[in-house]
């Protein structure tokens, strides 16, 4: 419920206008320390641990609106809560601002009908994209768009050239168990590392149990 003022703003703005959206989010608009408020709300939403990582990831999500969005990779051991962190932060982002994939074929970004302009592309595991797909992604992040030239052959007609353009700019968020990704990827992503200490694991388990039993408030 704490995520509602953040996530609903865009939907309300489209349906009822900017004035109504601003009215509903007035307390947030006048919040002197909105990141501190965000830390409180994501804690209420069930995220356990240092608030610095969700704060940073939330700021990354906001940059989708910029001319040059920031991208991020969340690193950590298996079962350290990487996907959980991403999902919790995305609860504070409008659904329409996010395009999520678990994996993709080499040319999926080229032929997708989804708009990527000022949106977040989220792939929950970096290895879900092959080398060619990641090369296309790097071009999208660096250049702010994709320009792809191909040849189309139709029966009874000579081959003709086809130019496909995918508009950005686009922000990207992914997760990985690796300590390092492809060197060219590392230069494009902000790296956020989750720890899996016994204390943090116990706290996360406690919070999940509370949420499941209905005791969490």
Over the stretch 191-211, which tens digit does the pLDDT of each residue have? 999 876 556 556 656 655 665
What DSSP character marks residue 17?
Answer: -
Query: Can you give the pLDDT at residue 131?
Result: 92
Query: Can you give the pLDDT at residue 61?
Result: 96
Query: Can you give the pLDDT at residue 216?
Result: 47
Query: Can you give the pLDDT at residue 3?
Result: 52
What DSSP character marks residue 118?
Answer: T
Phi-psi region for residue 107, left (φ > 0), alpha (ψ -120 to 50) or beta?
Answer: alpha
Output the average pLDDT for the chain. 86
User: Do 178 and 78 contact (CB within 8 A), yes or no?
Assistant: no
Query: Can you give the pLDDT at residue 20?
Result: 75
Query: Can you give the pLDDT at residue 2?
Result: 45
HSE-CB of 123 using CA atoms within 13 angstroms:
19
213 has a pLDDT exceeding 90:
no
| Residue 90 binned pLDDT confidence (cut-offs 50, 70, 90) | very high
For 7-57, how does the pLDDT look when each residue is reduced to its tens digit (9 = 90+)?
A: 666 666 666 777 777 777 788 878 899 999 999 999 988 888 889 999 999
Kindly state the helix (H) or strand (E) to which residue 129 belongs, with its residue range: none
**Rounded mean pLDDT of 64-87?**
93
Task: Please name every residue paired with 132 in a beta bridge, in sequence order, or none if there are none.
Answer: none
For 96-128, how does the pLDDT look when each residue is reduced to its tens digit (9 = 90+)?
A: 899 999 989 999 999 999 999 999 999 999 999
**Rounded mean pLDDT of 119-141?**
94
Query: Can you give the pLDDT at residue 5?
Result: 56
Kindly state the helix (H) or strand (E) to which residue 162 belongs, with its residue range: strand 160-167
Q: Is 74 helix (H, G, I), strand (E, B) or coil?
A: strand
**Rounded mean pLDDT of 212-216?**
57
């Amino acid at each position: 419920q704490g995520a509602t003022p953040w996530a609903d703003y865009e939907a309300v703005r489209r349906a009822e206008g900017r004035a109504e959206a601003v009215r509903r989010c007035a307390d947030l608009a006048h919040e002197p320390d909105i990141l501190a408020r965000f830390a409180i709300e994501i804690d209420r939403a069930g995220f356990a641990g240092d608030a610095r990582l969700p704060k940073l990831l939330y700021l990354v999500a906001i940059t989708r609106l910029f001319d040059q969005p920031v991208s991020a990779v969340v690193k950590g051991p298996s079962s350290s809560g990487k996907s959980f962190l991403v999902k919790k932060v995305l609860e504070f982002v409008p659904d329409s601002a996010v395009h999520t994939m678990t994996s993709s074929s080499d040319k999926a970004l080229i032929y997708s009908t989804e708009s990527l302009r000022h949106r977040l592309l989220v792939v929950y595991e970096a290895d879900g994209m092959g080398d060619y797909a990641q090369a296309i992604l790097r071009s999208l992040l660096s250049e702010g768009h994709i320009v792809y030239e191909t040849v189309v052959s139709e029966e009874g007609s000579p081959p003709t050239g086809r130019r496909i353009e995918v508009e950005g700019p686009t922000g990207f968020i992914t997760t990985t168990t690796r300590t390092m990704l492809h060197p060219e990827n590392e230069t494009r992503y902000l790296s956020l590392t989750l720890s899996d200490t016994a204390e943090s694991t116990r706290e996360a388990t406690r919070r999940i149990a509370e949420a499941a039993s209905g005791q969490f408030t």
